[in-house]
Every structure is written in structure tokens, then in C-alpha cells.
Structure 1
Amino acid sequence: MVLNQYFAKNEALDAIATSNVLLYLAGRLKRPILQFWTLNDTVILGHMDTKLKSLGRGLAVIEQNHFNYVVRNAGGLGVVSDAGILNASLYFPQQTGVSINAAYEATTKLTAGALSSFDVQVEQREVSTSYCPGTYDLSIGGLKFSGQAQRRAKDNIGIMLYYSVVGNQQARGQMMHDFYEQANRPAHPKLIFPSVDPNAMTNLADCISLANQTANEQLKQLILAQLLRQGNKYSEVTLESIIDNQFIYDFEQNLADLAKRMEALPHA
């Protein structure tokens, strides 16, 4: 099932709560779900970011850039979301015995296959000076354009990717550089936060032929075409057509938890 969603800047909590509970829904439906979603002008912080010694100063940087912020209930570090960032979350039910590496390799293969008609090579390796660096960063020519994260619940696996497709990636990187410069003073004694280089990342549209006005939609179609080549079938659905009462309950609980987490943050 393929789900397309758009969240406005003031719907950040809804976006994160939806992502959190779709994994459980895929398990109940016993069908994989691919969620494409965008969230306007928001920095999505990880749980580790909340441990920064001067987080309030960092949050002020985000606000000065006219961005919102939200904390997801997962580890990792902050990423930027705006109209030029395409998020693709894949939720797989009943994946017993599937290793973390195998799950990431599958999504890396999906991305590389989707871009195989272009003269580029997708590499999976950490870009340490990007924001939210990790082993499963995806890059072209040494520049990161995508990051991956994973969630597991019982036998269900969710893999979340973000793709920097179009927009001012230099400005995104500079904002995250400034965020950590301010928030990590004094430096945390145990946790390592990145020294973000705004030049460490790029947009896909700068690497392959994508039209700026329709780049997100073009990337979606490339991914869906690759799914078909891999022998998968899909149907596009709306959230309203697949949710159940348990989804509504879980969603409301997640919203309440996220609101409490936001209330606990220091003032920007």
C-alpha cells in the first residue's frame, strides 16, 4: 500500500505521531506500507539532541531561521524537513529474523535501483560532517543526499529515509551547524555531536536530471517503478481508507506523549 501525505509547518506533531503508529497498523493489516510524506519548515530532533547542555540556545537558532521544531521519540540526531525534502517510510510486518544490516541493505538497493537510469553511483557510508551522520548515509560523489533510520516493534520493521531533493541544502546545513555550535556549549562530556559542514550534503536534483517544480513527484515515481521491477505490486490508498479504531487510539496516545516531550524542552 502506498500512502502520500503532506503536513504543514503547524502539523509537525501529527506527522511524527502518524509515522510512529503506521508501523503497528502494517502489522495488523499484514501488508507492507510505503508512506511518502513532506513536512514544511521543521527541524525534527532526535532524543539525543534533548541532552545538549544549551539546547535552548540551539532552539533559538532554529526559530531565527523561521523553522519549527519537534522531537521524535527515537534516538539519533536532528534532520531538516521542508517542501524540498521527501520522506519515504517503509513499514514491513512479520519480518522475523531479519537483521538490521539486511533491512538497510534492502532500502539502499531500492534507492540505488531507482536511480540506476542516471549516470551516478549511490554509495552507502557515513558522511561524518553531515547532520545526523550514520553508517547508512547515502551519497553521490561523496556528498550525502539521504539518511536512514530504523524502528522495530515485535516482528514489524520500519525504515525511514529522507531525501534532500531540491531547495537550499547549503542553508539547511548552515542552520544545523549553527544549532550545534550554540546548543553544544559546553560540550557534552559523554555524547558526541557532529561538527556540521554545510558543504557535506547535496540535493538529488543537483546530481541527476530532475525538474525543480516536480522533483519530489519524479523521485516517487522512480521508487515505485523500481518496486515493480523488483516484482512487487502496489496500490495507492488514503489514510482514511485503512485506519482502524486501534490506530486512532494509538495516534491520540502518541500525540499526548509528543506534547509532553515538547513541554519539557527549554525555552528558545
Structure 2
Amino acid sequence: MTDWKNFFSGKAYRLIDHSDPLSLDNAMDSFAIDDAIALSVSKDKSAHTIRLWVHNKTIVLGISDARLPYIEEAVSSLQAQGYQTIVRNSGGLAVVLDKGVLNISLLLSGGNSLGIHQGYEVMVAFIQDLLADYTTEVKAFEVEGSYCPGDYDLSIDGKKFAGISQRRVRDGIAVQIYLSIEGDGQAHARLIRDFYQVGLRGEETKIKYPTVRPETMRSLSELVDKPITVELVKDRLTHMLDDLTVERVQAELSDEEVLEYQKRKKQMIERNKKALGDLA
């Protein structure tokens, strides 16, 4: 397994903390920012970066979700429950974000030499080390019955609490994970189960959508039976990195990154309008 420490050991790293849900308008900002920073890292204009982000009451859809036969009804149902909906620019299917879900982006250079599977393995090893004080039982494999299933689902005792996606921007890599830390993991799963039931109405489709079984999903605090919070995991992350690196740089976006972010955000807005129409 690729050692994540190779990217950070003995070096300065950049930390961007957007874990206040009010720090950004919506999740489109986060995906556009990650693209901008990944490009900056690929040009050696930024150190390897870790970005923390939280968005409350948000459903992030995959491109395939927008092709559901009854997508308008499905999205309207989510919005009626107070959830923002966006279509992301990376792979995967629908996931739930809220104030108890911490998203971590590893923004690294070396995409031309680091394979796709290796990119996922970097995040798996990073999370296993991050959570080592709480558990050593984090496994990576597809959890059938979970939402947004994939080979690198993270689970404990077969119950999924995290999922990973990945995006390449030139030589830059954005490996993103959602960690369901606090709250009711099964409630999140029921929300996505109902979304697909409304969006499909039992129709057969060329795209295979997951049959979500809520009992396959939990939050981390539920799985380890400890009151773990987003703040505790953030503190653990900074201590882990500070012990390994020579300097932590906390810098917001440069002028060049802001311009790239604005360009990427515009593209996401256009993509969402195309996918969701007036519901975007």
C-alpha cells in the first residue's frame, strides 16, 4: 500500500480549514476550490495541501444520478426536506453531507506517476492512521447495500462510514473522502434509499443504481461507541501532521487560485443547470 507519509514527511504542508458550514455558499465551492488547489500543487505553486470541509444538509449527486428517469421528482423531494442538491465533478453516486460529516481532501502532485488505485490507497492508509487512537479495524472493500458503493468504502465490522472519490487535474490529484463521524448513519442511508425509490419508480435502467439497505451504514461514533466529534478528528489530524512535517502553512487561496476557482465554479454551475434545470 502506498505510504501517505511520503508526501508530507519532513516537508511543509498547507492546511485549509473550511469546516465551518457557513464558510462557503455550497458544495460546488468545495469541488471548484479543490480543482484550483490541485492545479496549483501540480505547478509547484503550493505545498501538498489538506483541506477540511463541511456542508450542512447537502446531497451531492453523481453525474449518473442526474440520469434517473424521475430525477426532478427525486430532487424536489430532497429539497422539500431542506437539503441542497448539487451534481459534483468527480465520480460516484449520491452521498449525504451534514454538520457531522467531515470531508477531507488530499491535494497532491505526482498524478502522472501515481496510479488511480494508489491514489485511493494513500487515503485509506491516511484514515487508518488518523483513526488509530479509536480503532484498528478500519477495512477497505465495497459494502453492498451502502450508498455510493465502491472498492474503497471504509467500514468497521462491515458497516460503512466513509467513501472516497478521486479527481485528476493535470499532474495534480484531489483525493476526497467523506467521514460520517457523528449522527445517525442509518438515517442518511434511508434518505438516499428514498431518493432512488422516487427517482426510479421501479423502472429498469441501463445504469445500475444501488439498492440501499440502511442497516449497512453507520457513523464512526456509532461504530466505536464513543462520543467522537468532527472537532476531535480535526485536532487529531493536525497533531498527526505536525508531528511528521516541518511546518504548517495556513493560507487561503492565492490570486491565481481564486481565478481558477471562479472558472471551475462557473463550469459547475453550468453543469448543474444542464443536469437539473430549474432545480439547480
Is the structural similarity TM-score above 0.5?
yes
Given the alignment, which residue of 222, 230, 240 partners 1:216?
Answer: 230
2:38 maps to 23
**What TM-score comes out, normalization by structure 1 length?**
0.89
**What TM-score comes out, normalization by structure 2 length?**
0.86
1:202–1:262 CA distance, 2 compared to 1 (3 A):
same
1:218 is aligned with what amino acid? L
Give the conservation status (yes or no) of the 8 Å contact 1:52–1:188.
no
User: Matched residue of 1:109: which SS?
Assistant: helix
1:145–1:234 CA distance, 2 compared to 1 (3 A):
farther
For 2:134 and 2:265, locate their aligned partners in 1 and report how far apart those are by CA, in whole Å: 41
Give the conservation status (yes or no) of the 8 Å contact 1:54–1:186.
no
1:243 is aligned to 2:243: no
After TM superposition, what 4+ stretches of structure 1 lie above 4 angstroms from structure 2? Answer: none
For 1:85 and 1:38, locate their aligned partners in 2 and report how far apart those are by CA, in whole Å: 7
Once the two structures are superposed, residues 18-64 of structure 1 have per-residue CA deviations (whole angstroms, 9 ceiling, x without a partner) of 22322112223242000011011110111111111110111022113
2:218 is aligned with what amino acid? T
1:82 maps to 98
Structure-to-structure mapping, 1:226-237, within 5 angstroms: 226-228=240-242, 231-237=244-250
1:4 maps to 17
For 2:123 and 2:257, locate their aligned partners in 1 and report how far apart those are by CA, in whole Å: 26
Equivalent pairs counted in the alignment come to 262
1:237–1:188 CA distance, 2 compared to 1 (3 A):
farther
Once the two structures are superposed, residues 63-99 of structure 1 have per-residue CA deviations (whole angstroms, 9 ceiling, x without a partner) of 1321111111222111111100000000001343111
For 2:192 and 2:278, locate their aligned partners in 1 and report how far apart those are by CA, in whole Å: 18
For 1:247 and 1:228, locate their aligned partners in 2 and report how far apart those are by CA, in whole Å: 25
Q: CA RMSD in A?
A: 2.1
User: Matched residue of 1:235: which SS?
Assistant: strand
* Structure 2 stretches lacking a partner, 5+ long: 1-13
1:184 is aligned to 2:184: no
Give the conservation status (yes or no) of the 8 Å contact 1:149–1:159.
yes
1:123 is aligned to 2:119: no
Given the alignment, which residue of 35, 50, 53 partners 1:37?
Answer: 53
* Structure 1 stretches lacking a partner, 5+ long: none
Given the alignment, which residue of 234, 243, 262 partners 1:252?
Answer: 262
1:98 is aligned to 2:108: no
Give the conservation status (yes or no) of the 8 Å contact 1:30–1:94.
no
Give the percent of matched residue pairs that are identical in Structure 1 and Structure 2. Answer: 27
